Amino acid sequence: MTGITRTRLDAWAARKIGACGANFSRAELDRYQLARLRETIGWARKNSPFYRDLLAGRAETDLASLADLSRFPFTAADDLRRHGLRFLCVSQSDVSRVVTLDSSGTTGPAKRLYFTAADQEATIDFFQAGMTNLAEPGDKVLILLPGERPGGVGDLLKIALERSGVKPVPHGVVADIPAALAAMAREQATCLVGVPAQVLALARWAESAGMSLPVKSVLLSTDHVPRIIIRELKRIWGCDVFEHYGMTELGLGGGTDCAAHAGYHLHEADFHFEIVDPLTGDPRPAGETGEVVVTTLARRGMPLIRYRTGDISRLLSGPCPCGSALRRLAPVTGRQDGLIALGEQGFFTLADLDEALYAVPGLIGFTAAVDNRRRATRLAIAASLAAAPGREHERELIAALETVPAIRAARQAGSLELTIAAERCRGGLEPSAAKRAIMELS
């Protein structure tokens, strides 16, 4: 007996798929998914000009089993940019929320997502189910996410918490560390929901200032959660740390881990997940790494069919210690488009830099920029520290970077130059810290 209670997402999924009681079998869930996939494909072919073209010559009746989905074409971020409104299955007057994703570094039209009121209600519903794992009536949750305006992610989470009898304290993305910590102390927030790098900046600042705060649990929401940040939050605050895997394309749905912290239980009542070979597109069996591909099961406004997320991960095989019947996704190890190539020495990602650099004590945050146009790659790191930087900090940062095998090998081969700049953090955080990427060095 592990003592770990089953994730509340099971009861939520059971209700959504119409199972009796809070339990369901894999076969029941698969049958539900197949029926919903057929419905989604039929709905999209009938109502969306984009899908009418894409799915010409195919029909929902071609789906005799879930495996048959692999014969249907993929969709990708580029399709969203190029076809925009042609994806829509409802009239524009039925759209209650448009989310524009700014695609930094790319030119041309932005990626836009359209949601109906019912689509947004589905988001509130699974936020409510997911949050019951970490907050209960009497808790106060500081929301450090963007979108405090009506219909934004922060707002939907606020509604979900209120429905559960938990007090939300909307704050928004952290721009000023001392101000956010003051809000936490004033409200005596017991739970935080935020972006990993931002929450770590708060914890390290609070630690260096000797502030004690009653944090019981933290939910980190992003495409990638560095393991080092989870360890540090647990060490500094003694809190439990949960992770939410989600993306705007899915109305912020995706997966949430349980008290066993053994992967993200996928929101399988709303989405069907596949793992495919990133190069050939062939299906990969459970346990093998590949690109995450998602199909929405209940979306009316803008359904996504076999949408390539660009996230690299794998499905975990075997049951979760919590006993859930929902499948689990391993933490995302990278982005298909976020690899920095170092020739023969391999590659590194922002995730590698996060794991390496956040291990440096007192690091509040950093930015990374790369110039990969010349023979030797240049990597420039700008670090902000809790204390005034000294020589030893530069050495520590370089030593940390060299724990990344490709970086170490490339430095030894003379094909990588490092530039390190460090300064004392004055309390400000770049607003862009919520959406991080390795920038291009000009």
Single out the segment in contact with Zn ion by CB under 5 A; choices: 6-14, 198-206, 217-225, 302-310.
Answer: 6-14
Neighbours of 315 (CB within 10 A): 21
Site string for Zn ion, 174-213 (x = CB under 5 A): ----------------------------------------
Query: What is the three-class DSSP state of 23?
Result: coil
Single out the segment in contact with Zn ion by CB under 5 A; choices: 86-94, 164-172, 315-323, 400-408.
Answer: 315-323
Single out the segment in contact with Zn ion by CB under 5 A; choices: 8-16, 89-97, 319-327, 405-413.
Answer: 319-327
Enumerate residues 6+ apart whose C-beta is below 8 A from 113.
Answer: 80, 98, 99, 101, 248, 249, 251, 302
Residue whose CB is less far from Zn ion, 322 or 438: 322
Smallest distance from Zn ion to CB 326, Å: 8
Q: How many helices (H) and strands (E) does the chain have?
A: 12, 21
Q: At what angle do helices 350-357 and 405-412 cross, to 10 degrees?
A: 90
Residue whose CB is less far from Zn ion, 191 or 320: 320
Residue whose CB is less far from Zn ion, 116 or 324: 324
Q: Which residues pair with 308 in a beta bridge?
A: 293
Smallest distance from Zn ion to CB 3, Å: 13
Q: How far is CA 284 from CA 84, 265, 276, 305, 334, in A?
A: 30, 19, 5, 18, 17
Which residue of 157, 189, 219, 260 would you call a contact of Zn ion, by CB under 5 A? 260
Which residue of 258, 315, 360, 410 would you call a contact of Zn ion, by CB under 5 A? 258
Smallest distance from Zn ion to CB 323, Å: 7
Smallest distance from Zn ion to CB 4, Å: 7
Q: Is 322 in the site for Zn ion (CB under 5 A)?
A: yes
Residue whose CB is less far from Zn ion, 13 or 260: 260
Enumerate residues 6+ apart whose C-beta is below 8 A from 430.
Answer: 365, 367
Question: Considering just the CA atoms, what is the radius of gyration of the chain in Å?
Answer: 22
Single out the segment in contact with Zn ion by CB under 5 A; choices: 4-12, 64-72, 109-117, 383-391.
Answer: 4-12
Smallest distance from Zn ion to CB 289, Å: 21
Smallest distance from Zn ion to CB 329, Å: 12
Residue whose CB is less far from Zn ion, 264 or 307: 264
Please name the residue that has the structure tokens 């992967």.
263
Smallest distance from Zn ion to CB 100, Å: 35
- In the chain the first and final C-alpha atoms are separated, in Å, by 57
Smallest distance from Zn ion to CB 328, Å: 7
Q: Are 213 and 186 in contact (CB under 8 A)?
A: no
Residue whose CB is less far from Zn ion, 218 or 266: 266
Question: Total binding residues for Zn ion by CB under 5 A?
Answer: 6
Smallest distance from Zn ion to CB 23, Å: 14
Could you tell me how many residues make up the chain? 442
Tokens of 100: 């524009």
Smallest distance from Zn ion to CB 220, Å: 17
Query: What is the three-class DSSP state of 370?
Result: strand
Which residue of 324, 345, 367, 384 would you call a contact of Zn ion, by CB under 5 A? 324
Burial 75-98 (b: 16+ CB within 10 A, else e): bebebbbebbeebbbbeeeebbbe
Single out the segment in contact with Zn ion by CB under 5 A; choices: 39-47, 89-97, 102-110, 251-259.
Answer: 251-259
The alpha carbon torsion through 288, 285, 296, 170 (nearest 10 deg) reads -30
Residue whose CB is less far from Zn ion, 50 or 264: 264
Tokens of 390: 């000294």
Single out the segment in contact with Zn ion by CB under 5 A; choices: 85-93, 206-214, 231-239, 318-326.
Answer: 318-326
Q: Are 289 and 279 in contact (CB under 8 A)?
A: no
E strands, 195-300, are 217-222, 240-246, 254-257, 264-266, 271-276, 290-296
Residue whose CB is less far from Zn ion, 19 or 180: 19
Q: Is 320 in the site for Zn ion (CB under 5 A)?
A: yes
Q: How many CA atoms lie within 13 A of 8 on its CB side?
A: 13
Where on the chain is the footprint of Zn ion (CB under 5 A)?
7, 258, 260, 320, 322, 324
